Every structure is written in structure tokens, then in C-alpha cells.
Amino acid sequence: MRVGRNGAAGRPGERLLTVIVTYRRADDFGRLAGSPLQPRIHVGRVQENPVGMIKVHEFVSLDGVFENPSWTAEFGFPEALGQAIASFTSTSSAILLGRRTFEMFAPAWSARSVDDDPGVPFFNDTPKYVVSSTLTSADAWQNSTVLGGYDAQAIAALKEEAGDVYISGSGTLVRALMADGLVDELHLLVYPVVLGTGARLFPEGSARTPLTLAASEAFDNGVLHLTYGPAAR
């Protein structure tokens, strides 16, 4: 029998306790067999139902610009940076995007081959979900589905069903997810440049959201990889 913290049946993501009940006859130092059955309870190890994580990845300038990161090209792409990105894409089994990012990514990635970019199989073959209240079809990019308008509960359900979910770009979506506490890892690749213009990941008016620095890593080209998680409560 598996019970949750309150003795109820376990739910997704809840720590579960395995309890096995067996019976033996009481012998009490030589009593005759046939005496009443005595229960013996064996408590097994605690188990955890796996729940996916939402992992956000953004290229940003020192002044917070993330729009159309073609400006990152001048800094090159060292192998260590590629390994850092692979560390969170390789564990993701779904991609979540906002409409504008989907419309930018679809023609770019669908026309590439693995010879052009080793990331092509991940972006083209992984199931993709688009959050949009206006988009009616995602046929422009293989393995893509329109989820409909933003719905925190629907995205939380996707995280439980699909496993780890990767997001890139999609600023409006990312800000909404962070406000609802649904982002588990925020990976910022911060480039040593001030652009002075362009859309910012967190523009003025964004909700105050405390975070915890989980890891940091610097690359030879001056880029800093900062990994943030939710602040401890």
C-alpha cells in the first residue's frame, strides 16, 4: 500500500511512503502455533513521483536586451557554451513557446539540417507547444501544437505530463510563468555588451520576483552563464 503525507493515495509529485503489512503467528517464547495472527509492519524507502521542470534559456546583453540575439554572433560560440546549453536541452522532452518566438523560430529551424547546427534534431523533432490566443495552426513547424491562450493550470499540467520543458525567447510568456511561480530554472547567458536599444527581458513594470542563484559559469568569450531558481520560502 502507498500512502501520502496525510495517509491519502499519492498524487503526482508527492513524496510517497511504501508500507507493507504481513502477518505471523505469535510464538511468545514457545507458545503453541494457532495463536492469534500478529501484524508486522515494514516501512519501505520514501519514493518520489517525478515531476517535470520548466527550464528557461535566454541570451541577454548587460542592459537586459534579449530581442533577436543575432548580435551574439560577434562573440563566437565556444564549445563550453554549447555544452552548457546542451545540459538543459538534453533533459527536455517538450518545447514551450510564445507566438512571436514560434513565428521567428519556425522558418529558421525547419529549414536547417544537422550539418548547419547540431541543435536541429532537438528543435525540429521535439514536441512543441505554442501559447497563443490568436494562432489557429502550428503547421508551419513539424511536431507543433497550439495550446491556446495563457493558462497557468494547463502549463502546470503539461509540465507534469511531458516532463522537463524548455523555453527560449518568449518574453511575455516567461514573465507570466515567473509571476505564477512555474519557472524552475532560469538560464541567462549574459553577453559583455550594452546594446542601448531593443526589447528587454524584464522591462519596466515587470512583477518583482525574488530568485536564488543556483550556479554561475564564465566562458572564454566573456559570456557569463547564470542559473537562477525560485527564492527559498
Query: Residue range 209-229: average pLDDT?
Result: 97
| pLDDT band, residue 233 (cuts 50/70/90) | confident
Q: What percent of the chain shows pLDDT beyond 90?
A: 73
| 96 and 196, same domain (yes or no) | yes
Query: Residue range 199-203: average pLDDT?
Result: 96
| 149 and 83, same domain (yes or no) | yes
**Contact call for residues 59 and 189 (beta carbons, < 8 A):** yes
For 149-176, how does the pLDDT look when each residue is reduced to its tens digit (9 = 90+)? Answer: 999 999 999 999 999 999 999 999 999 9
Classify residue 134 by its DSSP letter: S
* Number of structural domains in the chain: 2
| 63 and 100, same domain (yes or no) | yes
| pLDDT value of residue 50 | 65
**Contact call for residues 163 and 88 (beta carbons, < 8 A):** no
**Geometric angle at alpha carbon 195, from 190 and 200, rounded to 5°:** 70
| pLDDT value of residue 53 | 96
pLDDT, mean over the chain: 84
Q: What is the pTM of this model?
A: 0.78
> Which structural domain, as residue segments, surrounds residue 151?
54-230
For 26-45, how does the pLDDT look when each residue is reduced to its tens digit (9 = 90+)? Answer: 444 344 444 454 544 444 44
| 21 and 69, same domain (yes or no) | no
Query: Residue range 183-191: average pLDDT?
Result: 98
| pLDDT value of residue 31 | 42
| 111 and 205, same domain (yes or no) | yes
| 214 and 176, same domain (yes or no) | yes
